[in-house]
């Protein structure tokens, strides 16, 4: 029997609740589909940082390298560890070390879910550049605590990095409805964002079948609210993609539904799958976190591992559950209730 080796990193807060739920669903579908999933769990988190001074061990990346994929819950415990420390200590190094340059975030309104807009049929795919740009971590601070203190944060956009993510966006658009929105703020940022626009234009000649439009990020955000049906695939930088996908999550009914895949398209290292949401310390341990985003991310993981039928079965189960009104209202149904309903839909 084919066995996929998965590194499980529940992380902080509700991360454990949602990864436990997703794992139960993944095990069910694996058993029913004739393959096996074998997990190794890693306690890397802010609690780990408090004990060891690191978010993961020095050889953490090398340890993860031998796995077929990584399933992660959430990172952050801001009362104890600054978010900038936890993000730069775990999530960002994994994305960079494993060249997971494409962060794929699907936003779809599931039946029965009431979003804030009338956006029936809302279905967009956001491709976020995941290894450079505004989150490169280049910069510094001098004269700390003095009135001449300076903080500098440098965005890094390389031709290789920009070309490969925009090309990935074109390929995704080609496989969907053939429309690509390329997002910048090139009227205000005259080096990096003009560079991005130029590369979009150059690559467009290779994809005559894709209708590409360049938008400024503010206009695109407004369009997502006012005319979401006009959009198909969005490709954006690390920061803009991060922000736009929280907007996408809101339109699809909340962060509880927003899944993501950090993909290494060349398959030279493992890819990582995680919900868009963070650790939500305010509801941690209450058993009310919506596990759908992590279950959906798990389906993306199975798809990436070549288990397409199993992934498709999960993606049929989720709307079947929400159509019954289960998991559609924040806090109404427990994590266990939603998980059991998904498992029941899978085994019906």
Q: Does 161 bind ligand GGG (CB under 6 A)?
A: no
State yes or no: residue 258 binds ligand GGG (CB under 6 A). no
For residues 41 to 80, the per-residue mask of contacts with ligand GGG, x marking binding by CB under 6 A and - elsewhere, is ---------------------------------xxx----
Closer residue to ligand GGG in complex, CB, 55/74: 74
Catalytic site includes residue 68: no
Among residues 132 and 274, whose Cβ is nearest to ligand GGG?
Answer: 274
Given 12, 68, 232, 242, which residue is catalytic?
A: 242
CB contact set of 126 (below 8 Å; sequence gap of 6+) = 104, 105, 106, 107, 233, 234, 236, 241, 244, 245, 248
Q: Answer yes or no whether residue 275 interacts with ligand GGG by CB under 6 A.
A: yes
Residue whose CB is less far from ligand GGG, 254 or 275: 275
Ranges within 103-142 binding ligand GGG (CB under 6 A)? none
135 as an active site residue: the answer is yes
Residue 10 CB, shortest distance to ligand GGG, in Å, is: 10
Site for ligand GGG in 83-102 (CB under 6 A): 87, 91
Distances (CA, A) of 144 to 25, 81, 186, 304: 49, 20, 32, 46
Helices (H) and strands (E) in the chain, counts: 12, 12
Least distance in Å: CB of 272 to ligand GGG?
10
CB-hemisphere CA count at 13 Å for 234? 33
Q: Is 283 an interacting residue with respect to ligand GGG (CB under 6 A)?
A: no
**Does 278 sit near ligand GGG (CB under 6 A)?**
yes
> Residue 266, class by beta-carbon neighbours within 10 Å (0-12 exposed, 13-18 middle, 19+ buried)?
exposed
C-beta of 70 vs 346, nearer to ligand GGG = 70
Shortest distance, position 170 Cβ to ligand GGG, whole Å: 23
Residue written as token pair 């019954």: 324
**Annotated catalytic residue: which of 218, 309, 324, 332?**
218
Residue 200 or 260 having the CB closest to ligand GGG = 260
Residue 282 bears catalytic tag? no
Tally of CB atoms within 10 A around 331: 11
Q: Please, what's the b/e burial string for 47-82 (b: 16 or more CB within 10 A of its CB; e: otherwise)? A: ebbeeeeebbeeebeeebeebbbbbbbbbbbbeebe
Binding mask 215-244 for ligand GGG (x = CB under 6 A): ---------------------------x--
Contacts of 343 (CB under 8 A, 6+ apart): 24, 25, 28
Question: Catalytic: 218?
Answer: yes
Angle at 211 between CA 210 and CA 214, to 5 degrees: 120
274 lies in the binding site for ligand GGG (CB under 6 A): yes
| Nearest CB to ligand GGG, comparing residues 115 and 256 | 256
Q: Which segments of the chain are extended strands (E)?
A: 3-11, 36-41, 69-74, 102-108, 123-129, 133-142, 150-156, 179-184, 211-216, 233-236, 259-263, 271-275
* CA gap 289, 286 in Å, rounded: 8
Q: Are strands 150-156 and 133-142 parallel, antiparallel or unpaired?
A: antiparallel
User: Which residue among 50, 190, 191, 246 is the active-site one?
Assistant: 246
From 135, 207, 303, 333, active-site residue: 135
Which tokens belong to 300? 């993306």
Interaction site with ligand GGG (CB under 6 A): 74-76, 87, 91, 242, 274-275, 277-279
Active site members: 135, 185, 218, 242, 246
């Amino acid at each position: 029997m084919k066995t996929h080796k998965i590194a499980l990193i529940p992380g902080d807060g509700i991360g454990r609740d949602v990864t436990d739920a997703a794992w139960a669903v993944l095990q069910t579908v694996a058993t029913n589909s004739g393959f096996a999933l074998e997990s190794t769990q890693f306690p890397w988190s802010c609690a780990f940082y408090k004990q060891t001074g690191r978010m993961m061990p020095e050889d953490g990346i090398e340890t993860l390298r031998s796995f077929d994929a990584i399933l992660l819950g959430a990172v952050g415990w801001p009362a104890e560890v600054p978010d900038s420390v936890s993000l730069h200590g775990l999530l960002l190094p994994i994305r960079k070390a494993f060249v997971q340059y494409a962060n794929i975030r699907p936003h779809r309104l599931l039946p029965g879910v009431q979003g804030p807009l009338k956006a029936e049929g809302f279905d967009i795919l956001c491709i976020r550049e995941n290894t450079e740009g505004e989150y490169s971590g280049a910069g510094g601070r001098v004269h700390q605590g003095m009135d001449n203190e300076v903080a500098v944060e440098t965005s890094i956009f390389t031709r290789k990095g920009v070309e490969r993510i925009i090309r990935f966006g074109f390929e995704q658009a080609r496989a969907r409805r053939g429309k690509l929105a390329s997002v910048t703020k090139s009227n205000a940022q005259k080096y990096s964002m003009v560079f991005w626009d130029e590369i979009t234009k150059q690559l467009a000649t290779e994809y005559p079948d894709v209708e590409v439009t360049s938008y400024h990020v503010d206009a695109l955000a407004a369009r997502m609210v006012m005319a979401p049906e006009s959009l198909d695939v969005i490709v954006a930088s690390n920061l803009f993609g991060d922000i736009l996908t929280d907007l996408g999550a809101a339109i699809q009914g909340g962060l509880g539904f927003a899944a993501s895949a950090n993909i290494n398209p060349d398959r030279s290292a493992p890819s990582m799958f995680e919900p868009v949401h963070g650790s939500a310390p305010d509801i941690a341990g209450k058993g009310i976190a919506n596990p759908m985003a992590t279950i959906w991310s798990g389906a993306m993981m199975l798809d990436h591992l070549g288990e397409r039928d199993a992934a498709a079965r999960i993606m049929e189960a989720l709307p079947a559950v929400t159509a019954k009104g289960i998991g559609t209202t924040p806090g109404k149904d427990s994590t266990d209730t939603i998980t059991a309903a998904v498992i029941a839909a899978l085994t019906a």
